[in-house]
């Protein structure tokens, strides 16, 4: 498997207000953004350990927003807002404290994540005095630092013992997941396969969307599924996946906000019984209510007809409404109480999301596999390609450019629309690397940037498949 490469974006675009406010967007370097937020959120005179802890929280939260494409998947031309009700305080043009600037220069390529996950932690924080939350208390971090706690101790106090630190992540340009041009009938490749996987997942919640084979071929079945999706979500029904359709699919499939935050907070209920506990009624409290609310919160990110409840452990009015909207959406009696049928239905919807999204950690873009350099490299990639092209007889890995290797390469070139010369040129090397990528990451939940093999006139679509 190609390595998953976490990185720090060179820039971040900030909306200077609430998401729908008619406010200016400004693009600043990622390090300058962190310096601004930290200078706006805490006092420069605080203990160094408290400042470090808060800096890592700011960095991690911002990265979570960027990598989940939370706003861009919703059609906004920015990565994060300056609204403290939703995101972090950013004051355009403010002065930056010298010690904070130096600290961020040291730290901005580091971030937090849960052990076993790749994505940055959605590290919530609040001042801890006038506002409290489930994340880091800013004043609390200062008090802990004054008592001798280091930054790691502080962060684990608020985010749990399983938080870990990624250091020295590379800085590079962040590209949006949209492939750059519409995906339509006749196209083949990795973007098509990801659309097919996503549409099939979404169809579990929206049965009007027909399921399609995941074959990397944008044929009639995929076009019909796209049209059904567009009709449901009030998009132009043309069967073409342009920017608006692409990002609506991304938003539904990855459920970026809630799934990212719930997962990062570690609320996955591993070891908790999924069996129906007993009837759950309004007014009840405890673990079973928390469990119920968690599942409904996840489902609500995939089905907008289901109201999102707070994960509070208290079965109040909002939870009753969430249960009722779920029952309405899935054809159950609208009682607002949770009997076995309702519980089983909620779990059924949740389980598919848990398996599909939580089970895959690929929230970062992948690096492209290296192109073949040696004869052994070429043979290895042709052997991998043979799994997708039945017509291609895989060569033996001899390390020599023998007749069978040349024959296999010529077949691959023909199938991918190149001249079947049997000689490895730059285009064929690129296509082989792309096919290797496609096969390795066909089930990824991350919509990657590079389209796999180059799509050219002459390709035999019927031969391309995902194994």
Angle at 167 between CA 163 and CA 171, to 5 degrees: 125
Residue 3 falls inside a structural domain: no
- Give how many domains the chain has, as a whole number: 3
Asked whether residue 138 falls in the same domain as residue 287, the answer is no
Q: Which residues contact 416 (CB under 8 A, 6 or more apart)?
A: 428, 431, 435, 453, 454, 456, 459
328 DSSP assignment: H
Separation between Cα atoms, residue 223 and residue 100, nearest integer Å? 52
What's the confidence (pLDDT) of residue 219?
Answer: 93
Asked whether residue 23 falls in the same domain as residue 68, the answer is yes
CATH code (residue 328) = 1.10.101.10
Residue 364 falls inside a structural domain: no
Asked whether residue 44 falls in the same domain as residue 123, the answer is yes
What's the confidence (pLDDT) of residue 293?
Answer: 85
Angle at 456 between CA 454 and CA 457, to 5 degrees: 170
- Token duo for residue 171: 């800085």
Q: Which residues of 166-191 are buried (b: 16+ CB within 10 A; e: fewer)?
A: beebeeeebebbbbeeebbeebbbbb
Q: How many helices (H) and strands (E) does the chain have?
A: 15, 9
Q: What is the pTM (predicted TM-score) of this model?
A: 0.49
Separation between Cα atoms, residue 118 and residue 5, nearest integer Å? 9
Q: Answer whether 356's CB lies under 8 Å from 201's CB.
A: yes
Asked whether residue 289 falls in the same domain as residue 407, the answer is no
Q: Answer whether 254's CB lies under 8 Å from 356's CB.
A: no
Asked whether residue 319 falls in the same domain as residue 385, the answer is no
442 DSSP assignment: T
Separation between Cα atoms, residue 52 and residue 38, nearest integer Å? 10
Please state the rounded mean pLDDT for residues 306-330. Answer: 89
What's the confidence (pLDDT) of residue 274?
Answer: 63
Choose the final residue of a domain: 139, 172, 205: 172
Residue 465 falls inside a structural domain: no
- Token duo for residue 398: 């001899």
Residue 243 falls inside a structural domain: no
Separation between Cα atoms, residue 421 and residue 445, nearest integer Å? 36
Choose the final residue of a domain: 330, 358, 386: 358
Q: Answer whether 110's CB lies under 8 Å from 100's CB.
A: no
Choose the final residue of a domain: 147, 172, 197: 172
Read off the pLDDT band of 452 (50, 70, 90).
very low
Asked whether residue 346 falls in the same domain as residue 410, the answer is no
Residue 129 falls inside a structural domain: yes
Please write the tens of the pLDDT for every residue from 86-105.
Answer: 889 999 999 999 999 999 99
What's the confidence (pLDDT) of residue 19?
Answer: 87
Structural domain boundaries enclosing 320: 257-358
Asked whether residue 323 falls in the same domain as residue 404, the answer is no
First and final C-alpha spacing in the chain: 15
CATH code (residue 391) = 1.10.101
Separation between Cα atoms, residue 423 and residue 387, nearest integer Å? 21
Asked whether residue 154 falls in the same domain as residue 290, the answer is no
Residue 420 falls inside a structural domain: yes
Asked whether residue 120 falls in the same domain as residue 145, the answer is yes
Asked whether residue 286 falls in the same domain as residue 140, the answer is no
Mean pLDDT, the chain, whole residue set? 77
Separation between Cα atoms, residue 199 and residue 206, nearest integer Å? 10
Half-sphere exposure of 437 (CA within 13 A, CB side): 27
In a 10 Å sphere around its CB, with 0-12 CB exposed, 13-18 middle and 19+ buried, how is residue 287 labelled? exposed
Given its phi and psi angles, is residue 148 left (phi above 0), alpha (psi -120 to 50 degrees) or beta? Answer: left
Q: Is 205 helix (H, G, I), strand (E, B) or coil?
A: coil
Please write the tens of the pLDDT for every residue from 215-261.
Answer: 788 999 999 999 999 988 788 899 999 888 887 887 676 543 344 44
Please write the tens of the pLDDT for every residue from 31-63.
Answer: 999 999 999 999 999 999 999 999 999 999 998
Asked whether residue 301 falls in the same domain as residue 428, the answer is no
Beta strand pairing call for 25-29 and 11-15: antiparallel
Residue 346 falls inside a structural domain: yes
Which has more pLDDT, 350 or 211?
211
Asked whether residue 128 falls in the same domain as residue 16, the answer is yes
What's the confidence (pLDDT) of residue 250?
Answer: 74
Winning range, highest mean pLDDT, from 58-67, 298-307, 458-467: 58-67
Residue 233 falls inside a structural domain: no
What's the confidence (pLDDT) of residue 48?
Answer: 94
The DSSP bridge partners found for residue 125 are: 136
Please state the rounded mean pLDDT for residues 318-334. Answer: 93
Whether 459 shows a pLDDT value over 70: the answer reads no
Other residues' Cβ atoms within 10 Å of the Cβ of residue 420: 16
């Amino acid at each position: 498997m190609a390595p998953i490469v976490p990185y720090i974006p060179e820039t971040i675009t900030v909306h200077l207000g609430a998401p729908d406010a008619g406010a200016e967007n400004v693009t600043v370097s990622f390090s300058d953004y962190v310096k601004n937020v930290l200078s706006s959120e805490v006092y420069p005179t605080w203990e160094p350990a408290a400042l470090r802890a808060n800096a890592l929280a700011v960095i991690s939260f911002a990265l979570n927003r960027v990598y989940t494409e939370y706003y861009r998947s919703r059609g906004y031309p920015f990565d994060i807002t300056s609204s403290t009700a939703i995101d972090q305080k950013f004051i355009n043009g403010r002065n930056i404290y010298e010690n904070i600037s130096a600290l961020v220069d040291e730290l901005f390529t580091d971030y937090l994540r849960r052990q076993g996950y790749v994505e940055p932690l959605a590290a919530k924080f609040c001042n801890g005095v006038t506002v409290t939350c489930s994340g880091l208390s800013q004043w609390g971090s200062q008090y802990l630092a004054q008592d001798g706690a280091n930054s790691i101790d502080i962060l684990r106090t608020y985010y749990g013992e399983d938080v870990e630190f990624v250091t020295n992540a590379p800085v590079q340009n962040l590209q949006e997941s949209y492939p750059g041009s519409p995906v339509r009938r006749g196209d083949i490749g990795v973007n098509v396969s990801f659309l097919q996987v996503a549409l099939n997942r979404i169809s579990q919640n929206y049965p009007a969307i027909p399921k399609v084979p995941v074959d990397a071929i944008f044929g009639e079945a995929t076009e019909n599924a796209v049209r059904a999706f567009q009709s449901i979500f009030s998009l132009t029904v043309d069967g073409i996946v342009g920017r608006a359709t692409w990002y609506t699919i991304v938003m539904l499939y990855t459920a970026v906000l809630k799934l990212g935050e719930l997962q990062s907070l570690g609320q996955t209920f591993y070891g908790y019984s999924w069996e129906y506990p007993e009837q759950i009624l309004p007014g009840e409290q405890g673990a079973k209510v928390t469990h119920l609310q968690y599942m409904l919160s996840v489902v609500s990110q995939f089905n907008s007809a289901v109201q999102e409840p707070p994960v509070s452990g208290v079965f109040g009015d909002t939870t009753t409404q969430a249960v009722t909207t779920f029952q309405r959406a899935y054809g159950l009696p609208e009682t607002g109480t949770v009997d076995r049928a309702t519980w089983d239905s909620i779990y059924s919807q949740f389980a598919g999301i848990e398996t599909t999204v939580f089970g895959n950690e690929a929230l970062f873009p992948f690096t492209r596999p290296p192109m073949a350099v040696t004869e052994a490299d070429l043979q290895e990639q042709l052997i991998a390609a043979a799994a997708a092209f039945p017509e291609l007889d895989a060569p033996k890995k001899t390390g020599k450019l023998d007749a069978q290797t040349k024959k296999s390469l010529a077949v691959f070139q023909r199938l991918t629309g190149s001249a079947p010369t049997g000689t490895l040129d730059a285009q064929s090397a690129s296509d082989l690397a792309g096919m290797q990528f496609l096969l390795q990451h066909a089930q990824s939940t991350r919509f990657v940037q590079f389209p796999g093999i180059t799509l050219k006139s002459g390709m035999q679509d019927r031969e391309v498949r995902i194994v």
